[in-house]
Amino acid sequence: MSAALAPDITSRKAGASTVRQFCSDNGIGRTKFYDEVNAGRLRAVKSGGRTLVLDEDAEAWRRALPAVCVRTPETQTAERS
Protein backbone atom coordinates (compact mmCIF):
# COMPACT_ATOMS: atom_id res chain seq x y z
CA MET A 1 0.00 0.00 0.00
CA SER A 2 1.39 3.39 -0.93
CA ALA A 3 1.94 6.05 1.73
CA ALA A 4 -0.76 8.23 0.14
CA LEU A 5 -3.35 5.45 0.51
CA ALA A 6 -2.25 4.17 3.90
CA PRO A 7 -4.59 4.90 6.78
CA ASP A 8 -3.49 7.70 9.07
CA ILE A 9 -3.19 5.52 12.18
CA THR A 10 -0.74 7.84 13.91
CA SER A 11 -3.14 10.81 13.90
CA ARG A 12 -5.75 9.31 16.24
CA LYS A 13 -5.34 10.43 19.83
CA ALA A 14 -7.40 9.14 22.74
CA GLY A 15 -10.51 11.30 22.82
CA ALA A 16 -9.52 13.53 19.87
CA SER A 17 -9.06 13.54 16.10
CA THR A 18 -6.72 15.44 13.85
CA VAL A 19 -8.19 17.61 11.10
CA ARG A 20 -7.42 14.88 8.56
CA GLN A 21 -9.12 12.16 10.60
CA PHE A 22 -12.13 14.33 11.48
CA CYS A 23 -12.65 15.23 7.82
CA SER A 24 -12.32 11.60 6.74
CA ASP A 25 -14.68 10.35 9.45
CA ASN A 26 -17.32 12.98 8.62
CA GLY A 27 -17.05 13.12 4.84
CA ILE A 28 -16.05 16.78 4.61
CA GLY A 29 -13.00 18.56 3.22
CA ARG A 30 -10.52 20.81 4.97
CA THR A 31 -12.14 23.97 3.59
CA LYS A 32 -15.54 22.98 5.03
CA PHE A 33 -13.80 22.03 8.31
CA TYR A 34 -12.23 25.48 8.69
CA ASP A 35 -15.47 27.16 7.57
CA GLU A 36 -17.27 25.38 10.42
CA VAL A 37 -14.56 26.31 12.94
CA ASN A 38 -14.51 29.96 11.82
CA ALA A 39 -18.31 30.15 11.99
CA GLY A 40 -18.20 28.88 15.57
CA ARG A 41 -20.17 25.72 14.80
CA LEU A 42 -17.22 23.40 15.47
CA ARG A 43 -14.70 23.75 18.30
CA ALA A 44 -11.08 22.87 17.59
CA VAL A 45 -8.15 22.96 20.02
CA LYS A 46 -4.40 23.16 19.61
CA SER A 47 -1.94 20.67 21.06
CA GLY A 48 1.50 21.95 20.24
CA GLY A 49 1.32 22.57 16.52
CA ARG A 50 -1.55 20.15 15.86
CA THR A 51 -5.18 21.10 15.50
CA LEU A 52 -7.47 18.58 17.15
CA VAL A 53 -11.21 18.09 17.57
CA LEU A 54 -12.22 16.54 20.87
CA ASP A 55 -14.68 13.66 20.57
CA GLU A 56 -17.37 15.53 22.52
CA ASP A 57 -17.02 18.55 20.21
CA ALA A 58 -17.28 16.32 17.14
CA GLU A 59 -20.43 14.73 18.53
CA ALA A 60 -21.95 18.13 19.36
CA TRP A 61 -21.24 19.32 15.80
CA ARG A 62 -22.88 16.22 14.28
CA ARG A 63 -25.94 16.60 16.54
CA ALA A 64 -26.34 20.25 15.49
CA LEU A 65 -26.43 19.48 11.75
CA PRO A 66 -29.80 20.23 10.18
CA ALA A 67 -32.16 17.37 9.41
CA VAL A 68 -32.82 16.45 5.81
CA CYS A 69 -36.20 17.53 4.50
CA VAL A 70 -37.33 14.82 2.09
CA ARG A 71 -39.75 15.92 -0.56
CA THR A 72 -42.20 13.33 -1.78
CA PRO A 73 -44.10 13.64 -5.04
CA GLU A 74 -47.21 14.53 -2.99
CA THR A 75 -45.53 17.44 -1.19
CA GLN A 76 -44.02 18.72 -4.42
CA THR A 77 -47.47 18.75 -6.05
CA ALA A 78 -48.97 20.53 -3.04
CA GLU A 79 -46.22 23.18 -3.15
CA ARG A 80 -47.01 23.96 -6.79
CA SER A 81 -50.74 24.43 -6.16
Domain containing residue 24: CATH number:
1.10.1660
The type of residue at 78 is A
Cβ proximity of 51 and 44 under 8 Å: yes
Is 42 part of a structural domain of the chain?
A: yes
Is 34 part of a structural domain of the chain?
A: yes
The type of residue at 65 is L
Is 8 part of a structural domain of the chain?
A: no
| pTM, entire model | 0.71
pLDDT given at position 78: 67
- State yes or no: pLDDT of 61 exceeds 70: yes
Q: How far, CA to CA in Å, does 8 sit from each of 27, 35, 81?
A: 15, 23, 52
Is 43 part of a structural domain of the chain?
A: yes
Domain span at residue 38?
16-73
Is 78 part of a structural domain of the chain?
A: no
Is 2 part of a structural domain of the chain?
A: no
Q: For the segment 7-52, what is each residue's pLDDT rounded down to a tens digit?
A: 444 445 579 999 999 999 999 999 999 999 999 999 999 999 999 9
**pLDDT greater at residue 80 or residue 60:** 60
Report the distance separating Cα 49 and Cα 24, nearest Å: 20
Q: Please give the tally of structural domains in the chain.
A: 1
Beta bridge partners of 13: 16
Is 46 part of a structural domain of the chain?
A: yes
pLDDT given at position 12: 58
